[in-house]
Structure 1
Amino acid sequence: MSQHDEGETEHQRLARNVNELLGELRVAQTGVQILFGFLLAVVFTPLFRAASGFEQALHLAAVLLAVMATALLSAPAAWHRVLFRSGRRYEILRYGNRLVLVGLVCIALAVTATIALMVKVIFGAVAMTVVALLVAAFFTAVWFLAPLRLRLRGAPKGSLGAR
């Protein structure tokens, strides 16, 4: 095992990184669970029964995106349990990171679809389109483009780098 500058072995670094990943997932999972609960409750309201086919389809899309987000965001924890003590932390991190990124896209799309549905019911199709595009652009900028921009700049001097 190689030693790092701070005395952390590769094994220790991987264990810490897996724990950090699982901790980050708790935040994202809570949000998607709240959204999912709200979306499920909407189906049992009189307003939903009177909704147009498009509105019901948009609701179904939001529900399916929330389901996919739930599966993707809980996958690294499941992988960790299944592969626990098998020395596969590197794979858990590598694939877990990808699953989480796709899960975050699903959350952003589920929230966007939910907001679009709400705006469609209240203000109509034009407002729905404008608000959905703005919300999707906001998620894209804040969650993906801003950190990607920082990543492309490289690590600043004196940073810890990819630890």
Structure 2
Amino acid sequence: MTAAEDSEKKRSRGRNETEEERADRMWVELIQEVRVAQMGVQILFGFLLTVVFTPTYRGLSDTDQTIYIVTVVLGAAATGALISPVSLHRLVSGRRIKPQAVNWASRMTLVGLVLLLATTTASLLLILRVATHDPYVPYLVTGVLVWYLVCWFGIPMWTRFRHTSR
């Protein structure tokens, strides 16, 4: 048997677990993923909350202040979405609906990641506009946004498409 055949055979078997066991495993994996994203969004959001209290904020143009406000709102929304799996788990724990809870928590985590992407992009735009005042800032930010899209969504979706058994 070749390595490819062996790999295909293992892939076709899958895991031998009940729906509840699968939900338990997926919950643990999801919570580990959320911990990473939560740390990033909480640090970024905490930083954003302090900016308004600095002397530099008063000197920002109306456009930059608008970008800041949008960024803070995005950060708040991302924080809420990424913390929501914890609340969901706490409120439905013991109700025998873990598979459904995992599904909803997964969706909220994906929403949180999209909001974190928007928050990070808007933060970068604001910082580079204030730091450089150069016309190339939107191009730089667009390049970073494309990089995030490739890393966070493109490669995972390609991997999912490429390696999921049909």
TM range (shorter): 0.7 to 0.9
- Alpha-carbon distance in 1 for matches of 2:19, 2:66: 48
Matched, 1:43 2:52: yes
Give the aligned residue type for 1:100.
Answer: T
Local SS of the residue matching 1:126? coil
Match of 2:164 among 151, 155, 158: 155
Give the aligned residue type for 1:112.
Answer: T
* Aligned-pair identity (%): 35
- Unaligned runs of 5+ residues in structure 1 are 157-163
Match of 2:124 among 99, 115, 131: 115
Matched, 1:106 2:112: no
Which structure has the highest helix share of the two? 2
- Alpha-carbon distance in 1 for matches of 2:17, 2:99: 16
- Unaligned runs of 5+ residues in structure 2 are 1-12
- Alpha-carbon distance in 1 for matches of 2:140, 2:118: 13
Matched, 1:28 2:37: yes
1 or 2 for the larger relative contact order (CA 8 Å, sep ≥6)?
2
- The count of residues paired between Structure 1 and Structure 2 equals 154
What TM-score results when the alignment is normalised by the length of structure 2? 0.86
Closer, same or farther: CA 7–124 of 1 in aligned 2, 3 Å: same
Residues 34-113 of structure 1: pairs in structure 2 closer than 5 A = 34-113=43-122
What TM-score results when the alignment is normalised by the length of structure 1? 0.87
Closer, same or farther: CA 115–5 of 1 in aligned 2, 3 Å: closer
1:159 aligned residue: none
Q: Do the aligned partners of 2:26 and 2:102 also contact (CA within 8 Å) in 1?
A: yes
